[in-house]
Structure 1
């Protein structure tokens, strides 16, 4: 089952004070007050908190992790269970990362190419290819309201040349991500 990504959003500034500002992002699943408190629900849960506790703590949005959800419980399974909203029991907006952070954080388990990143699962050793297109497809299956383009992160200690090459690849992957998003997954 495919879960629609929020078709549009509106941003309004509520107040300013010098360079500071507060605002609201209004979208299909609710309003996100900015600056935003966004708890991380890496594996479709904010640890030690029920969704109503997360909302009571002031969160208008939760972040989910594409890489971890791809491996377990699996994007297709989450989709069958109503997307992340149904799976988690969270009715407000959800932002999913692209999985690109794991390019850096799990570098010993990855092989990078222009096609994408081949991961060796840290859970069972199986291989998975995460490309810009697959990242968008997974985020769509998860029912994310705010989808991130697939990118290549490198350590800040990398040489300028390595950082520039990663930025250039990220720009190419961003175009492929947008094309996949516009094509519907």
Structure 2
């Protein structure tokens, strides 16, 4: 667990195992025997298998390399995009990003997105504002109450960025983006 909150850790342990507990201190009724358990909340099976844990552990050792490669590619995008009418997301001074995504804002995002996809470029849109998701609208959230999020969403497009992205492939992304923006 990665929390300092004992209360949150207990809730997470409960949810990770289908909401089931055998802990006598958490049972709603006294246990009639060692076999007894209670499902107290609707949880799921969030436990990792040994194989998933081994894979995760090996990937964590490679994480610094992955982040370094992503940062190099992002810096290259920054340099190559200065001549295009796009606005990369601003990174605050003194901060560092692992660049899970490389997002730019463009005018006419839907047209640019379609042209890039047609050119075989794996762009995407990240992320639809949470208040616009049906679940949250159902809770009474109105997306128009979040004009900044809506403005971002209308213009955001994520360019391909992954540790094995070659400079040649990155050049293809830039060329296709330039063509889409100037069309």
TM-score bin (small chain) = under 0.3
Which structure is higher in strand share?
1
- Highest CA radius of gyration, 1 or 2? 2
TM-score, with structure 1 as normaliser: 0.24
